[in-house]
Amino acid sequence: MSELTRMRAGDTYNCLDSELQNLRDAATTAIFKFNHEIDATKRQQLLTNIGVSLDDGSYISPPFNLSYGCHLSVGKNSYINCDAIILDNGWVTIGSGVMIGPRVQIYTAAHALDAERRLAGEETAKPVKIEDKVWIGGGAIILPGVTIGKEAIIGAGAVVTRDVAPNDRVAGNPARSLIHT
């Protein structure tokens, strides 16, 4: 089984694998071009060429960064503001009508806690799911394995370490509900 297959399955994989490095290199090249392209249609094509799924009416503002691209799906009429970082080692699914503020970070990679295993490249990827009509404030950080429910609001600068219920409002580090307190 390839390391890419392991990564996509959520199993432990070696992030130092050459196939994964080649995919990251292709994404880095495409993202460099994306961040320097004036034409929005050409920018979108650069992303779809590496496997990003962008539905109608969705927009990603440069500068933007991601690790692979082939594990990112964005629904209809969603907006990702400038300086977003999406480490899409695992699947990142962004619903329709989602608004993501500037400098939001979405992480799916989780490294081994043991130093020797971490240095050897041991890693897992846990998916992140952002459901429809979510608003994520600027500078928020979404950690691996988190699902954000429909119409939830994530306050600026929040660090989301666990699932957020639909229609909830969370803020802080770690993010806590402002409704259920």
Task: Round to whole Å and give the CA distance between 181 and 179.
Answer: 6
Q: Is 111 a catalytic residue?
A: yes
Please, are residues 109 and 15 in contact by the beta-carbon 8 Å criterion?
yes
- The order of strands in the sheet holding 169-171 is 59-60, 79-80, 99-100, 135-136, 153-154, 169-171, 176-177
Question: Can you read off the two tokens belonging to residue 26?
Answer: 């292709």
Please, are residues 126 and 120 in contact by the beta-carbon 8 Å criterion?
no
Among 36, 71, 111, 180, the active-site one is 111
Task: Round to whole Å and give the CA distance between 18 and 82.
Answer: 30
Residue positions annotated with a catalytic role: 111
